[in-house]
Chain A
Amino acid sequence: MTDCLINDPAAKRRYYRDIFLSTGIYMVLLLISVHLLRRDMVSGPWKYIVAVMPALPMFMVPRAVIRSFVFMDELQRRIQLESLAFAFTLTALLTLTYGFLENAGLPQLSWIWVWPLMGFLWAVGIAVAKRRYQ
């Protein structure tokens, strides 16, 4: 999401390497995890370890995103700040509002939808902020 704002080609390559590597490992671990859990091949505390296993490589993503900020210029950092503020506050507002609606009977949604929502709003925020400075 921050790749379009990185100027330095070497930093961009490093960013893509980190993202693709972590996503690749994530997909492999997800398949293994789902396979083991669906067939009841693990039990006890191992169940939790196997369930959380796919998330581990994704810890590389925050590192890649934070590192990418170093290679942005001042306007690009401002665009990121505005888009992140937009995504952060709107996600908080929407999830809180939906939480209240669940009390009124709407179906309970999984927490797993919070990140796609925030990611989508982040992308919208970048597009809007970039347009403002064009």
Chain B
Amino acid sequence: MKSRLRDLRTQQGWSQGDMADKLAVSRQTVNAIETEKYDPSLPLAFKIAKLFGCTIEDVFAPEA
């Protein structure tokens, strides 16, 4: 799954640690989602989208 998480996070000026605290997950999990090594569950994807005030489709897209 394609992820725009890194772009969205850096636009906000947040570190991976800040992001991890906001989502109540580990920094490793944020990094794995950003590097597209791990696809988050639906509840976590909703939480991420809500944090940026957008929809899941704005953050994630299926592999082409």
Residues of A within 8 A of B (CB): 5, 7, 73-76, 78, 130, 132-134
Contact = CB atoms under 8 A, between A and B. Distances in A.
B32 A74 contact: no
Interface of B, secondary structure class, is loop
Contacts of A73: 24-26, 29
Interface residues of B, number: 13
13 contacts: A7-B24, A7-B26, A73-B24, A73-B29, A74-B40, A74-B44, A75-B26, A75-B32, A75-B38, A133-B37, A134-B32, A134-B35, A134-B37
Contacts of B24: 7, 73
B35 to A, nearest CB: 8
B28 interface: yes
Given A133-B37, A134-B37, 10 more contacts: A7-B26, A73-B26, A74-B40, A75-B38, A133-B28, A133-B32, A133-B38, A134-B28, A134-B31, A134-B32
Nearest to B31: A134
